[in-house]
Chain A
Amino acid sequence: EVQLVESGGGLVQPGGSLRLSCTVSGLTFSSYWMNWVRQAPGKGLEWVANINQDGTEKYYLDSVKGRFTISRDNAKNSLSLQMNGLRAEDTAIYYCARVRYTYGHHDYWGQGTLVTVSS
C-alpha cells in the first residue's frame, strides 16, 4: 500500500519558520519527481515546489522563491519543505504528492498538514 504522510505543520508567527516533512512508503521514492501543493482555507489547489529524482533540480512558485527550500533524502524515503519568512498568505494545508512523469499528473497524495501563519 502506498502511503505519503506529512508532518511538521502548526501555528507560527509572521516571519517565522517551519519545516514540513513527508515520509513515503510503498513505492520507489527515488525514481520520481515529488511536489508540494498547497490549499488555502476555502480556496483551490496551488503548486508550490518540486524536486527531481536526485535532488539536483528544484523549482518554486514565484511567491515562495527565496523563502522556501525543497529537499529530499532518498535513503530515508523522505521529502522536506523548509519554509522561512512565513507570511499570512502562506496559511494553507500543504500536501506532498508524487508526480508520475515530468509534465504529468499527481497520482499519490498525502493527507496534508496545516500551516497557520498568524500573530
Chain B
Amino acid sequence: QSVLTQPPSVSGAPGQRVTISCTGSSSNIGAGYDVHWYQQLPGAAPKLLIYGNSNRPSGVPDRFSGSRSGTSASLAITGLRAEDEGDYYCQSYGSSLSALYVFGTGTKVTVL
C-alpha cells in the first residue's frame, strides 16, 4: 500500500510548467528522510529522475527539479515535452518494519 499521496494526473501543453506534489507524514518525509523521484515511460522500468530531494543524476535534463518541505515534496517539470508523458513516482524511507521503503501513488503526466 502507498503511504505517499500524489495527484492521479496532471497535464500541460508543450512548453508549460507542471508540478507534482507528494504528501507524506512524520514517519517518512517529515522524519527527515530524503525524497526521490522516478519516471516510468510506457512499457519501461522506472528510471531515477531526482535523488536526495533535489539532485539530478547525470543525463537528466535541468527541466526537472525537486524540492522538499516538512512532510511534503514536489517535482517540477518546465518546458514540458511530448517525451515527458508517463508516470511519475516519489519515494522515501518508511522507517517502519512493515514497509521500509515507501512509494507514492503515482501521477500520470499528459502532454496536451
Interface positions of A (Cβ within 8 A of B): 35, 37, 44-47, 50, 59, 61-62, 95, 100, 103-107, 109-112
Contact = CB atoms under 8 A, between A and B. Distances in A.
A2 B78 CA distance: 29
Contacts of A106: 36, 38, 46, 48, 91
B98 to A, nearest CB: 4
Interface in B26-54: 33-34, 36, 38, 45-48, 51-52
B112 interface: no
Nearest to B94: A47
Interface of B: 1-2, 33-34, 36, 38, 45-48, 51-52, 57, 89, 91, 93, 97-106
Contacts, number: 65
Q: 7 tightest A-B contacts by CB?
A: A105-B36, A47-B101, A105-B51, A103-B93, A44-B106, A45-B103, A62-B98
A107 B48 contact: yes
Contacts of B57: 107
Contact of B51 (A44, A46, A50, A107): A107
Contact of A44 (B2, B48, B97): B2
A45 B99 CA distance: 12
B17 to A, nearest CB: 24
A111 B40 CA distance: 11
21 contacts: A37-B46, A44-B104, A44-B105, A45-B38, A45-B89, A45-B91, A46-B1, A50-B101, A59-B97, A95-B45, A95-B46, A104-B34, A104-B51, A105-B48, A105-B51, A106-B36, A107-B57, A109-B45, A109-B46, A109-B47, A110-B45
Interface centre among B103, B104, B106 (most CB of A within 10 A): B103
A47 B103 contact: yes
Given A45-B46, A105-B48, A50 B100 contact: yes
A47 B36 contact: no
